[in-house]
């Protein structure tokens, strides 16, 4: 089979660094942190009091009051990011092409805040007071469903729930659906919004989160010796991906070409990667094979880079296993140092960052990297963005349950 080529033609972002793609991207390249003390609820009884909340999202700018009441925040973020991406792409969806346009999104948890709120109401006032909108607000496929309805896309409508790899898996499956001829266009990415007592408390009880409450902007520090956990975050990153000839025919701008996707399982542990990073390494190799590329063809990696002691060490080992001597020549950065960890949205946002890195030929920094960990000894683009040639780039995502996803993009050269 001759593979159909797939390109990125639209990007939409809603993040703690800004509502809007260029606002977020400019702050990423400037090395700004979106982490601060939590404002959404009282954290006085929690050991973790920091998060990366979306700060400039005003639902009244995007939804009427009635609609907003029936959409949980993770759905709102996903809809708005998708609309940004579709608008950016310049595509028109109509009766002639709507069955060839799909929506594939990723989400790790779904409507945890509305579950929390509804459970409290149920205990206080009884089950008869549960809203008929509760289930449609909470289930993880509602972003893809609402996006499909709002843009009129009648192709595949799918939602993947693979923890912190969900956004990358969504982008990968969107790529495949175009390669295999099921779609010509797919709106894809991830969305998440679980900065709530259950979300923060749950991850805190696992000892997964940073407790650097006195210095929030310095809390997410991937690959640094003093890293002590990830910072929970929220937001959405959506892409419009499109079959190449379809994009060229309508004169679309092209950010990058998606050329490879890999998915694997560690089959090891519910939350921890294997010490040698074998599953992640295998996943990167799968993506390289799918792309028909050699390790030396990659110039930049947007790392999973969570700022946890185990992930950063194991991801470094996996990169060394795959890239050998070339690992020392790679530019690697964790944008989670600035955005925090958006869980199921992370892969969508980081795929967007990867496309933007290729467009602008710039590697974002890993901020807060002041004392490199001895076990993390590669080039993580410390603290300052770097202008450089990026012919091809790889984006890693690894999730609880041992699930791994890797997407490869390259510069579009015709």
Q: Which residues are catalytic?
A: 164, 304, 341
- Let me know: does 323 contact 354? Beta carbons within 8 Å: no
**Planar angle of CA 396, 398, 401, nearest 5 degrees:** 165
The rounded distance, in Å, linking the Cα atoms of 214 and 222 is: 18
Name the residue among 174, 397, 378, 379 with its Cα closest to residue 279. Answer: 397
Distance (Å, whole) CA 37 – CA 147: 31
Q: What is 41-84 written as a DSSP string?
A: S--TT-S--EEB---S--GGGTS-HHHHHTS-HHHHHHHHHHHH
Pairing of strands 392-399, 300-302: parallel
Pairing of β 403-410 and β 256-265: antiparallel
DSSP assignment, residue 364? P
Six-digit token string for 337: 């140092």
User: Can you read off the two tokens belonging to residue 7?
Assistant: 């390109």
Token pair in block for residue 63 = 């939804």
Q: Give which of 128, 19, 137, 156 is closest to 77, Cα–Cα.
A: 19
**Tokens in use for 412?**
């579009």
Torsions phi, psi of 104, nearest 5? Answer: -130, 115
Give the three-state DSSP class for 36: strand
Please state, in angstroms and rounded to a whole number, the distance separating the CA atoms of residues 77 and 393.
26
Contact 336, 315 (CB under 8 A): no
Task: Give all strands (DSSP E) within 155-223, no chain letters.
Answer: 157-160, 185-192
């Amino acid at each position: 089979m001759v593979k159909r080529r797939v390109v990125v033609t639209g990007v939409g972002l809603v993040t703690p660094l800004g509502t809007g793609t260029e606002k977020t991207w400019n702050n990423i390249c400037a090395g700004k942190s979106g982490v601060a003390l939590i404002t959404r609820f009282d954290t006085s009884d929690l050991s973790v009091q920091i998060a990366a909340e979306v700060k400039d999202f005003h639902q009244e700018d995007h939804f009427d009051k009635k609609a907003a009441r029936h959409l949980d925040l993770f759905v709102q973020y996903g809809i708005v990011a998708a609309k940004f991406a579709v608008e950016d792409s310049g595509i028109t969806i109509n009766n002639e092409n709507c069955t060839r346009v799909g929506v594939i999104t990723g989400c790790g948890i779904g409507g945890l805040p509305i579950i929390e709120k509804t459970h409290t109401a149920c205990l206080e006032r009884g089950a008869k007071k549960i809203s008929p909108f509760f289930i449609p607000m909470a289930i993880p496929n509602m972003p893809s469903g609402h996006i499909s309805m709002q843009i009129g896309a009648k192709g595949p409508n799918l939602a993947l729930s693979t923890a912190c790899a969900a956004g990358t898996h969504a982008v990968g499956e969107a790529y495949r659906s175009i390669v295999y001829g099921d779609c010509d266009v797919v709106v894809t990415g991830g969305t998440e919004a679980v900065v709530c007592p259950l979300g923060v408390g749950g991850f805190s009880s696992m000892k997964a989160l940073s407790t650097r409450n006195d210095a929030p902007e310095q809390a997410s520090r991937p690959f640094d010796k003093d890293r002590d956990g990830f910072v929970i975050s929220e937001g959405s990153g959506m892409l419009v991906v499109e079959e190449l000839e379809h994009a060229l025919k309508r004169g679309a701008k092209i950010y990058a070409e998606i050329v490879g996707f890999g998915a694997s399982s560690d089959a090891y542990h519910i939350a921890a990667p294997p010490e040698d990073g074998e599953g992640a390494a295998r996943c990167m190799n799968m993506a390289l094979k799918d792309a028909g590329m050699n390790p030396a063809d990659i110039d930049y990696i947007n790392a999973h880079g969570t700022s946890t002691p185990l992930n950063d060490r194991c991801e470094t080992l996996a990169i060394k296993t795959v890239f050998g001597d070339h690992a020392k020549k790679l530019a690697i950065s964790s944008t989670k140092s600035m955005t925090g960890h958006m869980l199921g949205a992370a892969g969508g946002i980081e795929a967007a960052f990867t496309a933007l890195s290729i467009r602008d030929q710039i590697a974002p920094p890993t901020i807060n990297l002041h004392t490199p960990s001895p076990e993390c000894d590669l080039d993580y683009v410390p603290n300052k963005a770097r202008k450089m040639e990026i012919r091809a780039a790889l984006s890693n995502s690894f999730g609880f349950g041992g699930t791994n996803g890797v997407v490869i993009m390259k510069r579009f050269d015709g």
